[in-house]
A = this chain, B = another copy of it.
Amino acid sequence: MTRHEKHFSSNKEKEFEFTCRKHGLSLTIQRRAILENLAGRTDHPTADQIYDAVKEHLKGVSKTTVYRVLETLVNFGLARKVNNPEAKARFDADTSRHHHLTCITCGAVLDIHAQQLNRLSFPEELHGDVEFIDYSINFNGRCPACLKKSGAKNTE
């Protein structure tokens, strides 16, 4: 499957349609296009970045709509906001448990998939006080591109 396939992952598409019908949400082309774009990339884009990508295909989309649709997708579990230190929201259509590496050099956010990291147990001593639902690990370090550019070790 290529990055530019016209229709997005049928899994996600089915989930989208199911969720919309379940909650009485209209299946609009804007929602479909925005989720399709988000699901087709792994760079954890901001709303603006999605807007830039989506406006090519959907002439006349409003930025307001992009923000609103993303909020809707998050509210209904079709996407998540990625934990990050910057002052802007980043989105991810992959709602399964996985982790991220934020590059200290370029700021890119990469997915880290590793079975061993998906089975952490919640701290026993806090059970009862707090309720744990899920977790995600944020690594910081350097991405392949930046690592390559600067030789092996940090040169700062």
Q: How far is the CA of A144 from the CA of B128 in the complex (A)?
A: 8
**Are B114 and A131 within 8 A (Cβ)?**
no
Minimum C-beta distance from A84 to chain B (A): 6
Selected A-B contacts with CB under 8 Å, 14 pairs? A83-B85, A84-B84, A85-B89, A101-B130, A114-B125, A130-B141, A131-B147, A131-B153, A131-B154, A133-B140, A133-B142, A134-B139, A134-B140, A136-B137
List the number of copies, as a whole number.
Answer: 2
The residues of B that contact A120 with a CB separation of less than 8 Å are 117, 120, 137
**Is residue A126 within 8 Å, beta carbon to beta carbon, of the partner chain?**
yes
Q: Which residue of B lies closest to A116 (CB)?
A: B123
Q: Which residue of B lies closest to A129 (CB)?
A: B144
**Are B130 and A147 within 8 A (Cβ)?**
yes
- Bitwise, A99-113 to B at CB < 8 A (1) or not (0) is 001101000001010
Q: How far is the CA of A155 from the CA of B110 in the complex (A)?
A: 34
**Are A101 and B137 within 8 A (Cβ)?**
no
**Are B117 and A143 within 8 A (Cβ)?**
no
